[in-house]
């Protein structure tokens, strides 16, 4: 976080307050690992990595988006959704269980995009990372699983409105 120190304090799994920014990623990692780990210590295998889920996500890819550094265009993935669902399901399952993603998915093409204003002004550009399409699909599945878990009442209280679909800060103010 550029220019910001000591963003927010966190509570670790034992209820201790963590103030040091260097310790906060480990606290967040421990929490996420505890959520997705069962009582025997094995990582839960989310049912979201099913072929039909993957196929559905591939069929709804935006073909106007750019391809990532792997050179696979979203149109190709969309057209071959039925054929790619099974191999991607296997890759996603292995990636989830091993805690590793393929090296190609860690790469990104960074492209400068000009925001409103003079295109000659370098300050008007922002970087956009173009990543691998299969990686984006896996990220969608994991985000959906985490969001579902939080919305099932295990991580977010009913008063939490920001960053939740269908709930906003103004709605929170109205309900308050």
pLDDT at 41 over 90: no
pLDDT at 84 over 90: yes
**Domain span including residue 138:** 45-106+132-153
> Looking at the structure, do residues 101 and 19 belong to the same domain, yes or no?
no
What pLDDT is attached to residue 3?
Answer: 47
Mean of the per-residue pLDDT values of the chain: 80
Q: How confident is the model at residue 156 (pLDDT cuts 50, 70, 90)?
A: low
> Looking at the structure, do residues 31 and 51 belong to the same domain, yes or no?
no
Give percent above pLDDT 90 in the chain.
26
- The three-class DSSP label of residue 136 is helix
Exposed, middle or buried, 98 (CB in 10 Å: 0-12/13-18/19+)? exposed
Q: How confident is the model at residue 136 (pLDDT cuts 50, 70, 90)?
A: very high
> Looking at the structure, do residues 67 and 10 belong to the same domain, yes or no?
no
Average pLDDT over residues 44-65: 84
- Most confident of the following: 45-59, 84-98, 148-162: 84-98
> Looking at the structure, do residues 145 and 69 belong to the same domain, yes or no?
yes
Identify whether the C-beta of residue 88 lies closer than 8 Å to the C-beta of residue 54: yes
pLDDT at 76 over 50: yes
pLDDT higher at 116 or 127 = 127
Residue 46's alpha-carbon distances to 19, 119, 141, 149, 156, in angstroms, are 32, 45, 9, 11, 20
172 CB-near residues (< 8 Å, 6+ apart): 159, 161, 162
Identify whether the C-beta of residue 102 lies closer than 8 Å to the C-beta of residue 70: no
């Amino acid at each position: 976080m550029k220019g910001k120190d000591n963003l927010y304090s966190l509570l670790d799994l034992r209820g201790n307050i963590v103030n040091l920014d260097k310790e906060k990623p480990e606290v967040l990692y421990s929490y996420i690992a505890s959520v997705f780990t069962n009582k025997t210590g094995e990582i839960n295998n989310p049912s979201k990595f099913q072929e039909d889920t993957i196929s559905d996500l591939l069929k709804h890819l935006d073909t106007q988006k750019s391809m990532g550094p792997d050179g696979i265009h979203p149109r190709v993935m969309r057209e071959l959704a039925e054929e790619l669902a099974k191999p991607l399901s296997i890759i996603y399952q292995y990636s989830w269980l091993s805690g590793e993603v393929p090296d190609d998915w860690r790469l990104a093409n960074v492209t400068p995009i000009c925001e409103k204003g003079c295109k000659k002004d370098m300050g008007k550009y922002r970087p956009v990372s173009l990543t691998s399409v299969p990686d984006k699909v896996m990220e969608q599945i994991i985000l959906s699983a985490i969001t579902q878990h939080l919305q099932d009442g295990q991580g977010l209280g009913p008063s939490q409105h920001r960053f939740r679909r269908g709930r906003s800060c103004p709605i929170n103010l109205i309900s308050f």
